[in-house]
Amino acid sequence: MTDLMENAIAPRVATRWWRDAVIYQVYVRSFADGNGDGIGDLLGVRSRLRYLSDLGVDAVWLTPFYPSPMADFGYDVADHRDVDPVFGSLADARELIDDAHRHGLRIIVDVVPNHTSDRHPWFQAALRAAPGSPQREYYVFRDGRGAQGELPPNDWESIFGGPAWTRLPDGQWYLHLFAPEQPDLNWEHPPVREEFADILRFWLDLGVDGFRIDVAHGMIKAPGLPDVGHPGQVRMIGAEVVPFFDQDGVHEIHRAWRRILDSYEGERIGVAEAWAP
């Protein structure tokens, strides 16, 4: 966890177990196959919990197991409150969490707040809606530059290469700082914040012990979406502040999440994936 985020998301009471905990990352798809179909799943993870406990592991971090088209190894989430059938079911997730606790293990799951899958119901509704419609407020849609709007709204580049904008047949562009299949959410839109607060509570109610927050320095973009001004933006990340990462507004998001975590017993944690200068 970065020093930048510690005051916002670190637990402030009890044992601070995470200070010297051994946290074992599990990429579910390749870890253990529990049903014999050749693909790792939650049942497979559950079958190995005793071994992880015997190794001295304190917590298991599960990479995304949510419904996803897998354009980015599960980090393109189509439903944040369910399990992809290839990995099992919500009942399997519940049993895994309960069994982990019986083995003295904590469970940390990924939350992916910067973007969703392009198959997410919100984005599908936005595609069906007209420019300027309420459905498009959930994502970052903009008109293009140039005489016919044929140029992207700004010069931002995708972390995965190429422009960070894709144009729709109706002429508008949508932002994706990662793959085109991962449209960026608009965190200035209150329903987005409300949705993710509810997602955290959903998994906390199921018993998870915390969240690894993907792209925790994202979500908030600089007002007006200004140009960066030169190519090679990916190389700048972590060395300079760019308009699409490390904006001050992310701190209030994490403070709000910390308040949610603190409202639950058991010293629930948040840990940030953040590349910031």
Output 60 or 234, whichever has higher pLDDT.
Answer: 60
Taking the C-alpha atoms of 205, 181, 214 and 143 in order, what is their torsion angle to the nearest 10 degrees? -110
Provide the pLDDT for residue 10.
43
Which residue segments constitute the domains of the chain, with CATH numbers given? Answer: 3-117+190-272 (3.20.20.80), 121-175 (3.90.400.10)
Provide the pLDDT for residue 275.
85
User: Strands across the sheet with 269-272, in order?
Assistant: 23-26, 59-62, 106-111, 210-213, 269-272
- Residues 26, 148: Cα–Cα separation, whole Å: 48
Minimum mean pLDDT among 5-14, 72-81, 238-247, 249-258: which range? 5-14
pLDDT at 237 exceeding the cut of 90:
no
pLDDT at 6 exceeding the cut of 60:
no
Provide the pLDDT for residue 241.
83
Report if pTM > 0.85. Answer: yes
For the segment 32-58, what is each residue's pLDDT rounded down to a tens digit?
999 999 999 999 999 999 999 999 999
For the segment 182-214, what is each residue's pLDDT rounded down to a tens digit?
999 999 999 999 999 999 999 999 999 999 999
Residue type, 54: D
Confidence of residue 230 (pLDDT cuts 50, 70, 90): confident
pLDDT at 82 exceeding the cut of 70:
yes
Nearest to residue 263, comparing CAs of 11, 80, 62?
11
For the segment 96-140, what is each residue's pLDDT rounded down to a tens digit?
999 999 999 999 999 999 999 999 999 999 999 999 999 999 999
Instruction: Check residue 124 and report its DSSP letter.
Output: H
C-alpha dihedral sign at 118, 159, 210, 92: positive
For the segment 147-178, what is each residue's pLDDT rounded down to a tens digit?
999 999 999 999 999 999 999 999 999 999 99
Provide the pLDDT for residue 5.
42
- φ, ψ (nearest 5 deg) of residue 76: -115, 90
